[in-house]
Amino acid sequence: MKNICVIGGSRYFGKLLVRRLLAAGHRVTVINRGSAAPPAGAEHLVADRNDEAALTAALGSHTFDVVVDQICYTPVQAAVAARVFARRTRRYVMTSTIEVYDPATAALPALPPGTPVPEENVDPATWPVVTDLPWHDEAHLEAHYAEGKRQAEAVLTRADGFEFAAVRSAHVLGGGAQEFTGRLSYYTDRIAAGEEFAVHANLLPTVFIHHEELADLLRWAAEADFTGPVNACSDGPLDVHELASAVAAQSGGEPVPRVVAAGEEASPFSFDRHYAMSNARAKELGFSFSRTTDWLPAAVAEALAAAPASTR
């Protein structure tokens, strides 16, 4: 049994993670701003993780074996966490993202076309950190989401006082109405209604993970002892045409793609650049992944069932 702190964990796969940790017999403390109570059995501490004094006060004398940070988006937030938890935990796990590999957001090493991107393509130990940018501005953060994650990883990698691991998640699907990004329902709604969606002329595949599988992997990461980044994606990349075909098979609709010119914005998961991840490191460390095509039909069915009656 471990004493585990989850920062965030109040919705979607974070809530599933808390439930899995409790079911495994761990002692769990959830820290959030009080917007939602954690699952029964978890201790609840209310604090804004951006407020260092308030977070320190809320923690009191608490110490942990592991901290799992679900909501770290900037180097400023990471620096606060590094100071507050330096003497309070042995291990720190941050939920990161596939977007750290997006070549449109940073100058990254080029790989041969179609090569799954390994963790070393973005090395947090050497990534530059700039904390005096307007990270507290929501517009800046939204526009620099990938860079915020890269720099947050860099800060925590270099922190003293605990071992650090980053879980770089693929695009998360599943959960029906719980899927707060709405990107799968974007396709189920349009294809069921026969509406068009925008795609690039030269499509490249990307990788996905089911929300329950990501919760399983985060629990595994909390219980493990590896350090550094690890990619989290199901086996089997898909491009947006393949995703649309899976939606059409469940909805009975017909995909209506509209090709956009180079440089124009396209619909979710339509990519004209390659950054689909490799999951080889996680497998070598002992985690077994499902195949995307095994769980995607059920995820599509959930999204269709959650749609308003007027769009079915």
| pLDDT tens digits for range 128-180 | 999 999 999 999 999 999 999 999 999 999 999 999 999 999 999 998 777 87
Q: For residue range 213-229, list pLDDT tens digits in order.
A: 999 999 999 999 999 99
Closest CA to 107 of 121, 86, 95: 121
CATH number at residue 184: 3.40.50.720
Q: Which residues share a beta bridge with 198?
A: 258
- Under the banding of pLDDT at 50, 70 and 90, the label for residue 312 is very low
pTM of the shown model = 0.95
Query: Of 13, 63, 59, nearest to 208 (Cα)?
Result: 13
Residues near 120 by beta carbon (within 8 Å), at least 6 away in sequence: none
Q: Per residue in 22-42, pLDDT tens?
A: 999 999 999 999 888 898 999
Query: How many domains in the chain?
Result: 1
DSSP 40: T
What's residue 310's pLDDT?
Answer: 42
Residue 188: predicted pLDDT: 96
Is pLDDT at 195 greater than 90 in this prediction? yes
**What backbone phi and psi angles, to 5 degrees, belong to 241?**
-65, -40
Which residues is 230 bridged to in the sheet? 167
Its domain, for residue 35, covers 3-311
- Token duo for residue 104: 């449109």
CB-based contact 3:64 (threshold 8 Å): yes
> What is the Cα–Cα distance from 103 to 273, expressed in whole angstroms?
7
Helix (H) or strand (E) holding 165: strand 163-169
CA distances from 210 to 161, 175, 213, 224, 304 (A): 33, 8, 5, 21, 16
8-state DSSP, 116: P
pLDDT band at residue 308, thresholds of 50, 70 and 90?
low
At residue 62's C-alpha, the angle toward residues 59 and 67, to 5°, is: 85
Whether 267 and 260 have beta carbons less than 8 Å apart is answered as: no
Q: Are 154 and 127 in contact (CB under 8 A)?
A: yes
